[in-house]
Amino acid sequence: MKIRKAVLADAKGIAKVHVDSWRSTYANILPDEYLNNLSYEGREKLWENNMSQSEVYVAENLKGEIVGFSMGGKERSKKYKDFTGELYAIYVLKEYQGKGIGKMLVRPIIEDLIELQIFSMLVLVLEKNDSRYFYEALGANQVDVLEIVISGTILNEIVYGWNDIRRIDLLSVQ
């Protein structure tokens, strides 16, 4: 598995991972109609824009196909004064989950934040999303719970935080 900084030409592959991950991860959480209406083209434009705003990293399999991505930077809401960094997004195709790719995608985000002298980080995850256990395994603590609405569905979003990202052990977590 290769992790590298994304380039603009990766937007199409990132969009595919984004849409496919949402469809598999949120299948019993969000309405089917909403998930079925997600488009690769729409997400490709979104990621072209996102890449001009923040660093994005991709995971490539041996065939050079993008199978996961991550993005992070400064904490955006300014609501949590004890946390100055944020993991904005991390998605891995279902068939590649559980192989350590998530940890490999978190590493460059942490490295970028440390380079900026940012040592704390948040991530927001839907309460019904089992990936929350990944963050807990990395030592994140629940900071807050927010109520959000996606496609008319009211959901809880857990805000997890790490007070010191330099203490995250990316080698020992399975």
CB 134 within 8 A of CB 102: yes
Q: How far is CA 4 from CA 1, 107, 156, in A?
A: 10, 11, 32
Using DSSP bridges, classify how beta strands 56-60 and 2-5 pair: parallel, antiparallel or unpaired. antiparallel
pLDDT at 97: 93
Instruction: Categorize the per-residue pLDDT at 171 as very low, low, confident or very high, splitting at 50, 70 and 90.
Output: low
What CATH number does domain 2-121 carry, 3.30.300.20, 3.40.190.10, 3.40.630.30, 3.40.30.10?
A: 3.40.630.30
Of the listed ranges 2-6, 45-49, 166-170, the least confidently predicted one is 166-170
Each domain of the chain, given as residue ranges in start order, spans 2-121
CB 151 within 8 A of CB 34: yes
Q: What is the pLDDT of residues 34-53, one digit of tens each?
A: 999 999 999 999 999 888 88
Q: Which residues pair with 5 in a beta bridge?
A: 57
Can you tell me the distance from the alpha carbon of 29 to that of 13, in angstroms, rounded to the nearest whole number? 24
Q: What is the pLDDT of residues 80-106, one digit of tens each?
A: 999 999 999 999 999 999 999 999 999
Can you tell me the mean pLDDT for 21-31? 94
CB 24 within 8 A of CB 36: no
Can you tell me the distance from the alpha carbon of 94 to that of 41, in angstroms, rounded to the nearest whole number? 21
